[in-house]
A and B are shown apart, each in its own frame.
Chain A
Amino acid sequence: MPTAQEPTLTLNPGAANGPSVAAGGTWQVHALAQGKAMATITGLLKSLKADKVQWDLSAIDSMDHIGAQLLWNAWGKTRPPGLLLAPGQEEFFNRLETTGKLELPRPRQQRLTWVMKLGFAMLLFFEHMTGFITLIGQLTLDLWRFVRAPQRGPWKEISANIFHAGFQALGITALVGFLIGVVLSFLSAQQLRAFGGDIYLVNLLGMSIIRELGPLLAAILVAGRSGSSITAQLGVMRVTEELDAMLVMGISHGFRLVMPKVLALAVSMPLLVIWTDSMALIGGMLSAQVELGLSPQYFISKLPDAVPLANYMIGLGKGVVFGVLIALVSCHFGLRIKPNTESLGRGTTTSVVTAITVVILADAVFAILFNGVGF
């Protein structure tokens, strides 16, 4: 392990040709970085600055460009008169003399008033909107192409995506659905018991889970799971130029990447909704038995009366729409990622946040559109 001596500066006020300063030790970045060497040296250099002194560097045992630069800056970027150098040190200062005048270009100042910032935000929003609409348009064309020649469609990709986004999400959706069902049932039971309305627990749970919570829960989980992975996958494909390679071979991004994901989520989301619904209801049912003593037989026999079939259909419809939206949003952000790590991280975050927001917005639209249906 290379070790170093501490860099030193010694002032000799009574030398023959006026006051002189002798530098010694190791003037290398590693020596300067050790302990308090840097603070001591800069302090000494500052106190010497105004003095007209003779510099003697011949006692320095080894030097590098950073050490030389430190002295050079203290001298005000000129060679002091009567400088004494050891052989070999000349090179450092020659190089510093040729490069000393280099200036860093000023980065362009960001002088934006809030009006301009708002303007840019609006422009960015419109850019995203046009991009999204283009994506939907492309998807429509691809779907048409798929319908006309289904035997040449990307079946393998679709099936792989159903496996990843649907089958592999079964575990987490079951767990979260079950727990939410338990909690919801437990809390509602306590309230309902206060009014003596225990038997309405079935109506409350059935309605809220099947119509609202099941689809929303599944969608949020899928947005976090598959949405982020889709965006990251497309982003990495951009970074590694795979997207360009596909274009060069004449393979359309829309047909081979976007459409399979959209179709896969459109198929697997409603199935996940059914799955989450049933898990949440099982959770609620168990909790109801423990808390209120409602038997599962009663719960199940009461369910069809409490929840009209229309609600179930609305839930499935929501599943399809949410799935399509999640796939589109994550593809949209994935394809916009620029080839660097920061953009990849930011794109993935934005994609998940946007997908969840869009899902909740769509849920609100559903609530308004179907406000008279299923009661």
Chain B
Amino acid sequence: MANDALVPEKACGPGASTGELTLDGSVPIVDITGLWTKYGRTVVHQDLNLEIEQGEIMSIVGGSGTGKTTLLRQMLGLERPARGCVRVFGEDISEIGSAQLQQLRNHWGMLFQQGALYSALTVFENIAQPMRELQVLPEDLVRDAVLLKMNMVGLGPEHAIKMPSDLSGGMVKRVALARALALEPKLLFLDEPTAGLDPDLSEAFVSLIKSLHRELGLTVVMVTHDLDTLFALSTRIAVLAEKHVIALGPLQDVLKVDHPFIKEFFLGDRGRRALEALDEKTLDEKTNKDH
């Protein structure tokens, strides 16, 4: 068993890396096949498959310890699976060269759970950092672009010279989102985007992500526990349990799957309340449209 982890199998078939633009929707933007994750002798994922199509908002849910965040980190190349293949933009990210990986990294953005802002840099410098890292953009362009990004996430320019330690939780998330969007990525990863925000802020953040998704044509991959966020945002939901994806699809389809975790998670008291709220909202929207 131990040897399996040492020699990662090349599970990706031939013809994987084409080096060509794969944003035409013909290839899934993220493609996970036969993925195994092990920590010591504990198997977290067993032969897991998941495809994420371009333009969708995919939510990954599951009980604690089912490896949601690990899966996210594997898509980002921060962790290597024991076996299996993770392809992002059609490239196998465990086989790819470091220069190519760097290029790939400029095409995705990640919002970490705690924001992960550089605490020694101001808000402005935090957002400008990925742009400055390219080393070709003139400083006045960077300044305008940062102000634009701050405006997009609803931060006024007066916050630009603040330090991350002076910001509230909601503002940290906004700044982190602006930084994740700095290089206009096609693919955005969100790890618990609304955790630690109060309901008002969390709702505002959800609608912010929604509008950015529409405006920038993003593909969003999100790990969340928050049912309101989940129902309000996701176009498809992947449920992780028993080391597999046990259900995958739009909310209505996922609800029909007969599994104790899904019953408990979505149809418990909490879930029913959130679903009711969702139904009321869609009803409201429909009646508003009719008038």
* Chain A interface (Cβ < 8 Å from any Cβ of B): 1-4, 28-30, 32-33, 38-39, 42, 64-66, 69-70, 72-73, 91, 95-96, 98-100, 102-105, 107, 338-342
> With the chains together, A29 CA to B119 CA distance in Å?
26
CB <8 Å contact, A2 and B145: no
CB <8 Å contact, B184 and A28: yes
Tell me the B81-95 residues at the A interface (CB within 8 Å).
89-91
> With the chains together, A339 CA to B172 CA distance in Å?
15
B136 at the interface (CB under 8 A from A): yes
CB <8 Å contact, A1 and B136: no
Tell me the B76-120 residues at the A interface (CB within 8 Å).
89-91, 100, 103-104, 106-107, 118-120
> With the chains together, A280 CA to B193 CA distance in Å?
59
29 contacts between A and B (CB under 8 A): A1-B89, A1-B90, A1-B100, A2-B22, A4-B21, A29-B134, A30-B183, A33-B134, A38-B136, A65-B148, A65-B184, A66-B131, A69-B144, A69-B145, A69-B148, A73-B140, A73-B144, A99-B147, A99-B148, A102-B147, A103-B157, A104-B124, A104-B147, A104-B157, A104-B161, A105-B157, A340-B164, A341-B119, A341-B120
> With the chains together, A190 CA to B23 CA distance in Å?
78
> With the chains together, A294 CA to B131 CA distance in Å?
70
Contact of B148 among A95, A107, A338 (CB under 8 A): A95
CB <8 Å contact, B148 and A2: no
Count the B residues whose beta carbon is within 8 Å of the partner chain — how many? Answer: 44
CB <8 Å contact, B137 and A32: yes
> With the chains together, A28 CA to B160 CA distance in Å?
24
> With the chains together, A98 CA to B161 CA distance in Å?
21
B134 and chain A: residue at smallest CB distance = A33
B248 at the interface (CB under 8 A from A): no
Q: For residue B19, which residues in chain A have a CB less than 8 angstroms away from its CB? A: 1, 3
CB <8 Å contact, A104 and B143: yes
List 9 additional contacts besides A1-B107, A339-B165; criterion CB under 8 Å. Answer: A1-B22, A1-B100, A29-B184, A38-B136, A73-B140, A95-B152, A104-B157, A338-B165, A340-B120
Q: For residue A29, which residues in chain B have a CB less than 8 angstroms away from its CB? A: 106, 131, 134, 137, 183-184
B183 and chain A: residue at smallest CB distance = A29
A26 and chain B: residue at smallest CB distance = B21
CB <8 Å contact, B160 and A105: yes
Given A28-B184, A29-B184, A340-B119, also A102-B157 (CB < 8 A):
yes
Given A65-B184, A105-B158, also A2-B107 (CB < 8 A):
yes
CB <8 Å contact, A3 and B20: yes
Q: For residue A342, which residues in chain B have a CB less than 8 angstroms away from its CB? A: 119-120
Q: For residue A340, which residues in chain B have a CB less than 8 angstroms away from its CB? A: 119-120, 163-165
CB <8 Å contact, A99 and B136: no
> With the chains together, A73 CA to B148 CA distance in Å?
13
> With the chains together, A107 CA to B103 CA distance in Å?
34
Rank and list the top 8 A-B pairs by shortest CB-CB distance, nearest first.
Answer: A340-B119, A342-B120, A64-B184, A38-B136, A33-B134, A102-B147, A99-B151, A102-B157
A338 and chain B: residue at smallest CB distance = B165
CB <8 Å contact, B148 and A96: yes
CB <8 Å contact, B157 and A2: no
Residue of A28, A95, A104, A107 ringed by the most chain B CB atoms within 10 A = A104
Q: For residue A98, which residues in chain B have a CB less than 8 angstroms away from its CB? A: 151
B122 and chain A: residue at smallest CB distance = A107
Encode B120-140 as 1/0 by CB contact (under 8 A) with A. Answer: 100010000001001011101
B186 at the interface (CB under 8 A from A): yes
Contact of B141 among A4, A70, A103 (CB under 8 A): A70
B258 at the interface (CB under 8 A from A): no
Residue of A91, A98, A102, A107 ringed by the most chain B CB atoms within 10 A = A102
CB <8 Å contact, B89 and A73: no
CB of B265, distance to nearest CB on chain A (Å): 30
Q: For residue A66, which residues in chain B have a CB less than 8 angstroms away from its CB? A: 131, 137, 141, 145, 183-184
Q: For residue A3, which residues in chain B have a CB less than 8 angstroms away from its CB? A: 19-21
A95 and chain B: residue at smallest CB distance = B148
B215 at the interface (CB under 8 A from A): yes
CB <8 Å contact, B215 and A69: no
Residue of B106, B136, B152 ringed by the most chain A CB atoms within 10 A = B136
Q: For residue B107, which residues in chain A have a CB less than 8 angstroms away from its CB? A: 1-2, 30
Residue of A1, A32, A33, A42 ringed by the most chain B CB atoms within 10 A = A1
Contact of A104 among B131, B160, B164, B186 (CB under 8 A): B160
CB of A265, distance to nearest CB on chain B (Å): 30
CB <8 Å contact, B215 and A102: no
CB of B232, distance to nearest CB on chain A (Å): 23
Contact of A1 among B104, B157, B158 (CB under 8 A): B104
CB of A69, distance to nearest CB on chain B (Å): 5
> With the chains together, A338 CA to B165 CA distance in Å?
9
> With the chains together, A33 CA to B106 CA distance in Å?
11
> With the chains together, A95 CA to B153 CA distance in Å?
13
Q: For residue B147, which residues in chain A have a CB less than 8 angstroms away from its CB? A: 99, 102, 104
Tell me the B147-193 residues at the A interface (CB within 8 Å).
147-149, 151-152, 157-158, 160-161, 163-165, 183-184, 186
CB of B241, distance to nearest CB on chain A (Å): 32
Q: For residue B163, which residues in chain A have a CB less than 8 angstroms away from its CB? A: 340
Given A70-B141, A104-B124, also A30-B106 (CB < 8 A):
yes
